[in-house]
Structure 1
């Protein structure tokens, strides 16, 4: 396995048009449609970086919707590995909307997703480190350790939360009626 790679080696660029069935009631792109595009792109970046058959989404760390995307826009999603741990890869995604009538381009969204590469037995494997080159890559890499720590804290909190919240079906939970619990 190669010890380190440049982020550009994992770059995936995908441009698509906005179709009418992709629009919400505000005539802008559904957030969920964009989230699917982000996950698809990020998966390919992770697989390209790790050179494995399978990578799984460990978390969608953040998606910031900055500007609405309209039907007259094209949607360009760029993704690449911005930071790595031992067995995880942080993928940075940026979404550029371009008005196809005027040519105006704007940053519509940014996102960070974390992936884990799996071997043929579906076990996590070590991934190559990255060596950033551009100013953008260096900025993302240098701030990556802080985002990784935030992810660890959020994951710890999520585990604590799952110990406190119930998974019983709503109709199986006890219901209070007139100060008596009915099961």
Structure 2
């Protein structure tokens, strides 16, 4: 099955949320779970934009919080598909907080998630390949296969000995 490739930047989603009291913990910081919820939505939107189909979350990579986002601040989430495999897509997200009163932006975190496209029967379906264009898109595209192999190993779906891209990083061939 051959699908027409699409440019990576065509999947870009920018999502903005305001941190309200119900979104915060006792320290008036945005709760991590609420941010992950918003990130999941932004990533799903980027994937649906890319493949024109419903998608489900397959995996979430490590999410490390660099800076808390405070009550009353704005959250900016940028999500873009970095690479498409047969039925799955890797999405890279960057998250910033913004203090609208002091008017400055700060990085909160970044992460990768993987989604699978579904057909009308709820079965995995093929997705179009990605065409990376910018230098950053090419770097993310090239690293996606290694990240995928690591995810598959950690999820018990691949043996480390079968991860050729990862082995190439550590052994001369």
TM-score scaled to structure 2, two decimals? 0.86
1:22 and 1:30 in contact (8 A); partners too: yes
The Cα offsets for residues 42-81 of structure 1, whole Å up to 9 and x where unpaired, read as: 11111111111x1011111221211110113110111010
> For the aligned residues, what is the CA RMSD?
1.5
> What corresponds to 1:17 in structure 2?
18
> What corresponds to 1:41 in structure 2?
42
Deviation at 1:157, TM superposition (A): 6.9
Alignment of structure 1 residues 145-164 onto 2, 5 Å: 145-156=145-156
Structure 1's consecutive aligned runs of 4 or more residues displaced over 3 angstroms after TM superposition are: none
TM-score scaled to structure 1, two decimals? 0.81
Q: Structure 2 unaligned runs (5+)?
A: 159-173
Q: Distance in 2 between matches of 1:149 and 1:96?
A: 28
2:60 and 2:113 in contact (8 A); partners too: yes
Deviation at 1:19, TM superposition (A): 0.2
Alignment of structure 1 residues 157-172 onto 2, 5 Å: none
Q: Distance in 1 between matches of 2:132 and 2:126?
A: 19
> What corresponds to 2:56 in structure 1?
56
Number of aligned residues: 157
> What corresponds to 2:33 in structure 1?
32
2:20 and 2:72 in contact (8 A); partners too: no
1:62 and 1:113 in contact (8 A); partners too: no
Q: Distance in 2 between matches of 1:96 and 1:2?
A: 34
Q: Distance in 2 between matches of 1:37 and 1:111?
A: 13
Alignment of structure 1 residues 104-119 onto 2, 5 Å: 104-119=104-119
1:82 and 1:92 in contact (8 A); partners too: yes
The Cα offsets for residues 78-132 of structure 1, whole Å up to 9 and x where unpaired, read as: 1010112111100111111111111111111111110000101111111111111
> What corresponds to 2:89 in structure 1?
89
1:83 and 1:144 in contact (8 A); partners too: yes
Larger Rg, first or second structure (1 or 2): 1
> What corresponds to 1:6 in structure 2?
7
